[in-house]
Amino acid sequence: MLSPINVSFESLNLATLVPMIIPIVGALLILIIDLFKSEQHKSLFVMLSLLVLGVDFVALMDSAGIFTKNGTITGVFDMMLIDGLALLSQFIIVGASLLFIPLALTHKRFHEFSYPEFFALFLFMIAGFQFMVATDNLILIFVGLETASLALYTLIAMHNRDKSFEAAVKYFTMGALAAGFYSFGAMVFYAVSGSVEINEIAQVLKANNYEDIGFVLVGVVFLLASFGFKLSMVPFHTWTPDVYEGSSAALAGYMSIVPKIAAFVVAMRIFEFLIHSGVVWLEVILYIGVVVTMTMANIWALVQTDVKRMLAYSSISHAGFVMAAILIGTTQSNSALFLYWILFSFTNLGSFSMLWISRQKNLPAHQQSDHSYDKFAGMIKTAPVAATIMGLFMLSLAGVPPFALFWGKMYMISSAVTGGYTVLALIMALNSAIAGYYYLKLIVYMFMRDPVVENSGHVYVANATLPLKTIIGIAAVGTIFAFVAVNQLLELVTVFVYNSGY
């Protein structure tokens, strides 16, 4: 017989839920509108979602303000945990989404955007991700994760081409497996600690200083596997290139940023204490995972013939690069992770959007895929501005200073150095060198080769509209003038990470 519980309303601290509620409400709103008057033009929904996200962003800033004043906030029976990580990651999630949504306003008509459901699902997904990062409760993480993922599968499928269905199915299956692993891992931890709150688990394990280490390791392995899927760590990466190729360039770009940051935060929460638990070979596994992911992804990217697949592999390798931060696990490295990811999202979203505006409705004869390299041959002659911008993004991805990603790379490698991982630092550096090759390959095609078939250059901007151009413009500016903002970003990030005890 359960004794009645009485909880003061304040202690629930429902304010913590606001940032997640907003997109959900927005989603419902969209659905309702569609209910009353269907066949609305997509621009309506785009703008609505923009507004909603805008509000969400403001809400986040508000809670950020509270955080900076009086530290970490918990709420709803300590389910919600609004700390620096949560806030930073949500900023990235919402911010990236803000940049993504306008990409729906393409010149050509793509039919997923004609469904209001698309936007509703999109907003649900965001809410899911936000839940995922804003808690240390394994259940809520699981719910958030799955909400987001299920929405995402559908979004991919809505692109409505053969490849996109195939992609969706692959992603879905892998996702399901990952879910299985996750729940099993969670179960193991629950079994050894009797709790589903990460920090409690940590305390319990510390208390009995890892007596049944065997179980812990089993749990870790399963969790690692499931996050391996989400973060597309080698060897769990196999779905990534296919899914990216299958889904629309814009969505691919989005997928390379938002789901990953969410997963990173959770991974950080879970592995941080485990790594420092002195369980050596956990560190070793992670070390190997990181190095292999970086290197192999790079090596596979070398041999790609399609720019989008190349970018897919490159983002895998970037993920590996960033995963190193979790391995190193110092405040500097964790802040480096966020710094890196913020800068990365600008550049990567930019380069995917460049692919997006060059997306033709149907494939010309001389191209074997949507974005094969030779499509871009001699671009400088016909579309110099576009070529230059694309070149900038490539250089930035390659880590050529002073463009955005260089600062992230630098700070990350520095954190490896200070963390005592000299060899890792060198490996990271050399990987950037290898990566240089395939980014350069595109530049070579654009600037130094002659077009395969004479074109007016319209093909590179077939899809361009003002909104898309604006987004690309923002991304470009962010990429070029990053060095102005780096300092503020760095300070902010460091403060947030430090104050949430990572």
Partner 1 sequence: MLDHILSILIFFPALAGVLGFVVNKDSIRSYGVAVATIEFALSLWLWAAFDSSVSGMQFMENIALVPAFGVNYIVGIDGISLFIIVLAAFFTMIGIASLSPTKNEKNMIVTLLFLQMTMVGVFAALDAIVFYVFWELSLVPMLYIIGAWGGPLRIYASVKFFLYTFAGSLVMLVGMLFMAYFYYQATGEWSFAILDWYRLILPESFQKWLFVAFFLGFAIKVPMFPFHTWLPYAHGQAPTIGSVILAAILLKMGTYAFIRFSLPLFPDASVYFMYPIAVISIIMIIYTAMVAYAQKDIKQVVAYSSVSHMGVIVLGTFALNVEGITGSIFLMIAHGVVSGALFLLVGVIYDRRHTKYMSEFGGLAHVMPRYATIFGLMLMASVGLPLTINFVGEFLSLLGFYKQSHILTLLAGTAIIVGAIYMLAAYKKMFFGVVTKDENKHLKDVNKRELVALIPLAIITVWLGIYPKPLLEPINNSVEAVVSLMHEKSISEEAKLRIPNVATELKILNNTAEETH
Partner 2 sequence: MELFLYTALFSPLVGSLFAALFGASKKTKIAGIVPSALLGLSLISSFILLILVFSTGLSVHVEMMTWMATGDLYIPFGFVVDQVSVVMMMVVTLVSTVVHVYAIGYMDHDKGFNRFFSYLSAFVFSMMILVMSDNFAGLFIGWEGVGLCSWLLIGFWYHKESASWAANEAFIMNRIADLGMLIGIFLVYWNTGTLQYKEAFAVMPSLDKDILTWIGIFLFVGAMGKSAQFPLHTWLADAMEGPTPVSALIHAATMVTAGVYLVVRANPLYDLIPAIGVFIASLGAFVALFAASMALVNRDMKRVIAYSTLSQLGYMFAAAGLGAYWVALFHLMAHAFFKALLFLGAGNVMHAMHDELDPFKMGGLGKVMKGTFVMMTIASVALAGIFPLAGFFSKDLILEVAFVEHHFIIYTVLLLTAGLTAFYSFRLVALIFHGEDRYKHFGIHPHEAYKFMLVAMSPLLVLAIIAGAFKMGYFGMVTHILPATEYHVHSAATYWIMTIGTQLFVIGAIAYAYKKYTSKDIKVPDGTSKMENSFAYKLLINQYYIPYFYENYLVKPYRELSEIFWTKIDQKVVDATVDGIANVFYQTGDRTRVMQSGNLSTMLLSGLGV
Partner 3 sequence: MEIGLNHYLVLSVILFAIGLIGVMRRKNLLMLFFATEILLNSVNIAFAAISHYYNDLAGQMFAFFVIAIAASEVAVGLGLLIVWHKKHNNINLDEMSTMRG
d(CA 502, CA 492): 14
Query: Does 411 participate in binding partner 1 (rule CB under 8 A)?
Result: yes
Q: Which stretch binds partner 2 (CB under 8 A): 29-37, 64-72, 239-247, 479-487?
A: 239-247
d(CA 226, CA 413): 27
DSSP-assigned beta bridge partners for residue 197: 137
Q: Which of 31, 187, 213, 401 binds partner 1 (CB under 8 A)?
A: 401
Contact (CB, 8 A) for 217 and 163: no
Min CB(254)–partner 2 separation in Å: 22
3 state SS of 80: strand
Query: Does 486 participate in binding partner 1 (rule CB under 8 A)?
Result: yes
Min CB(309)–partner 2 separation in Å: 9
d(CA 501, CA 58): 25
Query: Does 368 participate in binding partner 1 (rule CB under 8 A)?
Result: no
Q: Which stretch binds partner 2 (CB under 8 A): 29-37, 194-202, 229-237, 340-348?
A: 229-237
Closest C-alpha among 239, 212, 224, 126 to residue 182 = 224
Kindly state the tokens that stand for 334. 């964790």
Contact (CB, 8 A) for 404 and 396: yes
- The nearer residue to partner 1, 169 or 452, going by C-beta atoms, is 452
Contact (CB, 8 A) for 133 and 90: yes
Query: Does 229 participate in binding partner 2 (rule CB under 8 A)?
Result: yes
Contact (CB, 8 A) for 356 and 250: yes
Min CB(315)–partner 2 separation in Å: 15
Kindly state the tokens that stand for 277. 């638990």
3 state SS of 82: strand
Query: Does 153 participate in binding partner 2 (rule CB under 8 A)?
Result: no
Min CB(148)–partner 2 separation in Å: 20
- The nearer residue to partner 1, 181 or 411, going by C-beta atoms, is 411
CA atoms within 13 A on the CB side of 406: 16
Element (H, E) at 464: none
Q: Which stretch binds partner 2 (CB under 8 A): 89-97, 293-301, 324-332, 449-457?
A: 293-301
d(CA 492, CA 461): 37
Residues with Cβ within 8 Å of 43's Cβ and at least 6 positions away in sequence, in order, are: 105
Dihedral angle computed from the Cα positions of residues 24, 30, 34 and 39, in that order, rounded to the nearest 10 degrees: -140
Min CB(421)–partner 1 separation in Å: 11
**Interacting partner of 184 out of partner 2, partner 3, partner 1, none (Cβ under 5 to 8 A depending on kind):** partner 3
Min CB(177)–partner 2 separation in Å: 7
Residues with Cβ within 8 Å of 361's Cβ and at least 6 positions away in sequence, in order, are: 108, 462
- Return the exposure string of 290-315: e unless at least 16 CB atoms fall within 10 Å of the residue's CB, then b: bbebbbbbbebbeebebbbbbbbbbb
d(CA 316, CA 233): 7
**Interacting partner of 183 out of partner 1, partner 3, partner 2, none (Cβ under 5 to 8 A depending on kind):** partner 3
> What residue ranges bind partner 3 (CB under 8 A)?
138-139, 142-143, 146, 150, 153-154, 157, 162-163, 165-170, 172-173, 176-177, 179-180, 183-184, 186-187, 190-191, 194-196, 241-242, 245-246, 303-305, 309
**One character per residue 240-279, x = contact with partner 2 (rule: CB under 8 A):** -xx-------------------------------------
d(CA 183, CA 214): 18
- The nearer residue to partner 1, 143 or 495, going by C-beta atoms, is 495
Min CB(312)–partner 3 separation in Å: 10
Q: Which stretch binds partner 2 (CB under 8 A): 18-26, 102-110, 170-178, 358-366?
A: 170-178
Q: Which of 494, 496, 497, 500 binds partner 1 (CB under 8 A)?
A: 494
Contact (CB, 8 A) for 374 and 444: no
Interface contacts to partner 1, rule CB under 8 A: 380, 395, 398, 400-402, 406-407, 410-411, 413-414, 417-418, 422, 425-426, 429-430, 432-433, 436-437, 440, 443-444, 447-449, 483, 486-487, 490-491, 494
Interface contacts to partner 2, rule CB under 8 A: 169-170, 173-174, 177, 225, 229, 235-236, 238-239, 241-242, 296, 298-303, 434, 437
